[in-house]
Structure 1
């Protein structure tokens, strides 16, 4: 026999026919390796159709990625007042807690009014920052430093979640016969960079990600929960502990319904995805979550049994009432606002779900979906039209969306790039043009529109803001030029312009437009005017139809003392219509001492009434008739 292929590789004899047969066999084996998986014992994988070379997985420099996160997170935190509505309300609870006692820390309240929709974790962090930085940093700026740290922490969890999922065998691209495919580590880093860029490109994160609200702690907790699930794939105990810690963070910063939804759907994922084991999560992770939540519940009931029981009951009831909306009542609001809030993550996530159709039970698809699913259900079940839960969808959407990058066609990538380049360049030019009109009153029509939107505002030139705006604009044009000239093949090329454009817009708004935005969204001027008309010896102020944001800013900027269950001698009332003066009784009457509103808001009108005691008339003795006097 001239050719033996029974065991091991083929051996060729000296015969020409044998050599020809050997070459044909080797060529056949090369073709088999190119168009089939490397191991014939492994089933066909969707990742095998993702064909990439090592040059497509060049990661962003670490310093550049870190600089983008810091710039994005830091701008908008300083140099401004607490804004209406939820930003000021959250700061008010932190400020009350920082200046209060143990009761205020265990039972969060806003100068006596208890907001029982969310847990106390975010308020604890903000109040701690206010106390630690009190001599050096203003209270409002100190509270927002926690916001920036939580945003960066969530970005880190999103990056590591995508990195760990991208290194797994299920997500690996096609392995060529002669090499040249990216290494799993490089491939995972590139996908992680893409996930972070997609997260920073989302429109809804710009304002919501810079507010002092409990949603920031929930946002970081959701990102940590996803990381814990992914980490449990290769390190079950470590991942379970992180998962339990994240569940406790979500519970301490939100409501029981959200915790139960994430818990049930996460455990249900362990049945669908075989790689995730439920036993470590239940043994190691769940006790951590219970201990964290119990560390707040037990001291509250122990030290303040009556008020603590009432607060926790209200927290429980409000949690279920918040998600008691009729099916379909909020669907229209969600369909109208959710796509814009989560752009561009949601179309990429849908494309990833469709592209990886044969592997939807794999961890890199199922893990993000296990968090997206319950959150979408809760969004539809809300009783009120609000975007409070929209931000929690961004971490899992970004991780799922990054797996669409290897499967995008060149036409789709170019369309995304051109849309980002044109839209952000036009909007950025408009921001500069409006700022120029406010500074030099040219173009005149644009300056008149700006004066109409913010009456009474006088723009001022600030050198530092101008330099930052110029720097970020120059960086944008340099990046756009690099993208057009080089035509890079890296995976994150399709989202780098979107994330850079969103960062450009946010930095321009928080530098050039920050004075006018702050002027139109703060109650500082109104608080100072009210404080000037308050009697020096007043006891307390009774608020009527005032929101939490108004009470917080009035108390902070005006030093006002509000009371909700006392007989106060001052009434501060918000009227959208003329309700008339408060009713007077025989002992006193109410006198209007001030009336005004914010110059940027025509609907709100505030009236300040002071109680004036009526003088008691002297008691007159009855006069006897003259006939009775004579008879005596």
Structure 2
């Protein structure tokens, strides 16, 4: 017997404008008003910027002004470079590049919503008919579940930073969601068009972040279909797989034919893919559960309950399809050779969809417990963000202000009226949302997750308005890049360097530093990055065989260990 029994009143959907507004409130803060940060964000922007201002070779072999970076795949960088080409003159290259992750997020959110809607309309997912009628229509039920899935997706804590970064992870999450949508269509209609869409999605996923994840998803679908959908097996093998290869192959073939920079990124790209797979270890297992608990909150409790509640309908596609995707991605995370947060990201779309089907069967007590946890935890976080901002502006509380300025020496807070108004408005909206949820006690399905997602959006919005100048000051290399640019002479020359990808991006973009793009260049200047404790710069200077003069030394105020030194060759 199905575990769901609902009246039609429980399936009132959110207004479309409200869903769209939530998505904008989620994605826009953190993309605007900041520099590229010392993370994959700066690395991704550097590759996009190099492509947009470079030649065809830069488009074929992703690099940061001569530093190769082709390991993960070119698709996200291609899209970002196109955005820079189209909109860089209008809003600046850094803002134009962030149009790409915004588009990735909207694509992934739409795929999560429509996948849940298709699965929620299926006969196997429908609630039991009531004795006197009044049960929801399949379309209304599917729409409400889709709203719940999107709210859960927005509330996943692990998605926050990666969805606001110009990196391959942002596109990978969206492409996994699109693959799940195409697979749902294929199992629903068994059409060649759906198989072709799945192949296209898998091919784009290969170009996004390697072939390991798409191959695991394809194998998982093949195993699932072999039990009951023989027609789907044929389409997966004869249509989806060849199309995926056909979509991903042109980049590889073009590199082998044109040989950009007299070489090809194929070997480095394949080696990076091979390194994604290894044997499970205690470290990967520990990090999987340690990070997964907060990374996939609040999706995993609802998803786990959904699997349990629908255990007697274990062959129902609305459970088996997202569960197959989740298991495939979870196994890859466990077999990964390194413990990285990014390997958990592909699990979020199937977890959010699976969690939506746990909403109709959750007990009222469990829903209230999740709500109270969300209210207490997220309201406390929001209050601390406000208190920290007040401390930076006024100096009270004194200890909190002291700690804030200790982490960012030299930071000078400024009052931004627009950011303050947005933060106040978001806080008032949160209070009204909590009051509506606790006083009216609505019966709609998505009531169980509206506070979780709303609170996460509130805290992120407050951070990206009230604290953004402070965070940007600590994570940006703009200041030190400007210092270096002022010490460089005019003229035509090049600079050798050992700086990392994020630093290289910032120095080129903010300081227009002319780094060497070839190992054959003989440069007059040398920029070294090292740690005050290690003394690596001195070692490199001694073993270079040349005489050097120190011209400049600098660092970010928020980092006491990292330092940069500029030398001029004397002989």
| Cross-structure match for 2:312 | 358
Cα pair distance change 1:584/1:181, threshold 3 Å: closer
CA deviation after TM superposition for structure 1 residue 235, in Å: 2.4
Specify the alignment match of 1:13 in structure 2: none
Q: Does 2:483 correspond to 1:519?
A: no
The aligned residue for residue 67 of structure 1 is 21
Change (3 A) 1:493 1:315: same
Partner of 2:278, secondary structure, is: coil
User: Quick one: structure 1 residues 256 and 234, their matched pair in 2 at CA, closer, same or farther if it must change by over 3 Å?
Assistant: closer
- Could you give the per-residue CA deviations for residues 485-519 of structure 1, whole angstroms, max 9, x where no partner exists? 10101111010000000000111011001100111
Residue in 1 that maps onto 2:188 = 234
Q: 2:322 aligns with which of 343, 347, 368?
A: 368
Distance change (3 Å), C-alpha of 1:50 and 1:305: same
Aligned equivalent of 1:328: 282
Which residue of 2 is the match for residue 558 of structure 1?
Answer: 511
Secondary structure in 2 aligned to 1:334? helix
- What's the CA shift string for 1:277-299, capped at 9, x where partnerless? 22223333233212211232222
Give, in angstroms, the shift of residue 457 of structure 1: 0.5
| Equivalent in 295, 301, 305 of residue 250 of structure 2 | 295
Aligned counterparts, 1:23-172, within 5 A: 45=1, 47=2, 49-172=3-126
How far off its partner does 1:124 sit? 0.3
Q: Secondary structure at 1:118's aligned position in 2?
A: coil
Max radius of gyration: which structure? 1
Partner Cα distance (1:348, 1:341) in 2: 14
What TM-score do you get using the length of structure 1 for normalisation?
A: 0.87
CA contact (8 A) 2:212 2:276 kept: no
For residues 522 and 305 of structure 1, what CA distance do their matches in structure 2 show? 31
Partners in 2 of 1:333 and 1:116 — Cα distance? 27
Where do 1:535-614 residues align within 5 Å?
Answer: 535-537=489-491, 539-544=493-498, 546-563=499-516, 565=519, 566-576=521-531, 577-579=534-536, 580=538, 582-583=540-541, 588-613=546-571
Look up the SS of the partner of 1:136 in the other structure: helix
- Do 1:194 and 1:492's aligned partners in 2 also have CA atoms closer than 8 Å? yes
**Pairing 1:428–2:385 present:** no
Matched, 1:319 2:273: yes
Alignment partner, residue 216 of structure 1: 170
The 5 A counterparts of 1:133-282 are 133-237=87-191, 238-274=193-229, 277-282=232-237
Deviations 1:141-200 (A, max 9, x none): 101111011101100000011111111111111112321111111111111000000000
Looking at structure 2, the residues matched to 305 and 196 of structure 1 have their Cα atoms a distance apart, in angstroms, of 42
Partner of 1:489: helix, strand, or coil?
A: coil
1:5-50: CA deviation from partner (whole Å, max 9, x where unpaired): xxxxxxxxxxxxxxxxxxxxxxxxxxxxxxxxxxxxxxxx4x2x31
Cα drift, residue 383 of structure 1: 2.1
On the 8 A contact 1:150/1:220 being kept in 2, the answer is: yes
> In structure 1, how many angstroms separate the alpha carbons of the residues matched to 2:19 and 2:544?
70
Is residue 416 of structure 2 the alignment partner of residue 462 of structure 1?
A: yes
* Cα distance, 1:293–1:586 mapped onto 2, change above 3 Å: closer
Contact 1:265 1:371 in 2 (8 A): yes
Q: Provide the aligned length of Structure 1 versus Structure 2.
A: 565
Q: How far apart, in 2, do the equivalents of 1:352 and 1:500 lie?
A: 22
Cα pair distance change 1:490/1:411, threshold 3 Å: same
Q: Is residue 59–residue 186 contact of structure 1 (8 Å, CA) maintained in 2?
A: yes
TM-score (norm 2): 0.96
Task: Tell me which of 266, 271, 283 is aligned to 2:238.
Answer: 283
- Partner secondary structure for residue 265 of structure 2: helix
Q: Does 1:529 align with 2:474?
A: no
**For the structure 1 residues 275 and 509, does the alpha-carbon distance in structure 2 shift closer, same or farther, using more than 3 Å as the test?**
farther
Structure 1 pair 341–154 and aligned structure 2 pair: CA distance change class (3 A):
same
Q: Mean alpha-carbon deviation: is it higher for 580-589 or for 103-112?
A: 580-589
CA deviations 1:26-80 (Å, max 9, x no partner) are: xxxxxxxxxxxxxxxxxxx4x2x31111111111111111111111111111110
Deviations 1:301-345 (A, max 9, x none): 22227845x311221112102323653332222222121111111
Structure 2 residues without counterparts, runs of 5 or longer: none
Supply the distance in 2 between the matched residues of 1:389 and 1:585 (Cα, whole angstroms): 39
Cα RMSD between the aligned structures? 1.8
For residues 125 and 421 of structure 1, the distance between their equivalents in structure 2, rounded to whole angstroms, comes to 38
Write the distance in 1 (CA, Å) between the matches of 2:213 and 2:221.
12
Q: Is the Cα–Cα contact under 8 Å of residues 581 and 590 in structure 1 kept in the other structure?
A: no
Of Structure 1 and Structure 2, the greater helix share is in 2
Separation of aligned partners in 2, 1:287 and 1:104? 28
Q: Residues 586 and 135 (structure 1 numbering): CA distance in 2 closer, same or farther, change over 3 Å?
A: closer
Counterpart-to-counterpart distance in 2, 1:543 and 1:491: 57
Unaligned runs of 5+ in 1: 1-44, 614-632
Return the alpha-carbon distance in structure 1 between the equivalents of residues 127 and 456 of structure 2: 30
